[in-house]
């Protein structure tokens, strides 16, 4: 009987600890490594851009879904950036629009693949161009 009570106490304590450590609400996921791609520069030359991307997920349980489809998501951001020209890349206003477009593209891809839209926001935490 004593063992049964001790086991119940341990299980209850473990459940409480799991509830305390599980993050609630949004979770940030950093895409690694940075995304580096070319964009159309003036004339015949190409410019390059390097960005760090963080995804704000709607909940922590969506992380495995995002990780599973990471190659698809990285490719979508790479293509979005490569479609831009020099003036667009250098514009702060367009940069904010790119973040919104990126979020929409990623959610559209994930909706098609999984039936879910887990990304609440896309953030460029580093945005370097040359």
29-85 pLDDT per residue, tens = 999 999 999 988 777 788 999 999 999 999 999 999 999 999 999 999 999 999 999
Per-residue pLDDT tens for 76-111?
Answer: 999 999 999 999 999 999 999 999 999 999 999 999
Q: Is the pLDDT of residue 5 over 70?
A: no
What's the fold here for domain 25-129? Tetrahydropterin Synthase; Chain A (3.30.479)
- Count of beta carbons in the 10 Å neighbourhood of residue 59: 13
Q: Which residue has the higher pLDDT, 16 or 121?
A: 121
Query: Alpha carbon of 77 to those of 83, 101, 109, 124, 129: distances in Å?
Result: 10, 9, 11, 11, 15
* Peptide bond before residue 88 is cis, with ω within 30 degrees of 0: no
- Nearest C-alpha neighbor of 54 from the set 37, 77, 36, 72: 77
Cα–Cα distance, 61 to 102 (Å, whole number): 21
Q: Is the Cα dihedral 34, 107, 19, 15 positive or negative?
A: negative
Global pTM exceeds 0.95: no
Q: Is the pLDDT of residue 127 over 80?
A: yes
């Amino acid at each position: 009987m004593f063992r049964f009570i001790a086991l119940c106490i341990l299980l209850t304590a473990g459940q409480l600890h799991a509830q305390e450590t599980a993050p609630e609400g949004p979770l940030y996921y950093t895409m690694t490594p940075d995304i580096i791609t070319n964009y159309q520069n003036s004339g015949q030359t190409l410019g390059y851009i390097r960005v760090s991307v963080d995804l704000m997920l709607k909940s922590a349980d969506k992380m495995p879904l995002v990780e599973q489809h990471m190659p698809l998501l990285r490719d979508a951001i790479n293509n979005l950036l490569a479609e831009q020209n020099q003036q667009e890349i250098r514009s702060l206003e367009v940069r904010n629009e790119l973040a919104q477009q990126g979020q929409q593209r990623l959610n559209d891809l994930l909706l098609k693949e999984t039936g879910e839209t887990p990304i609440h926001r896309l953030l460029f935490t580093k945005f370097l161009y040359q």
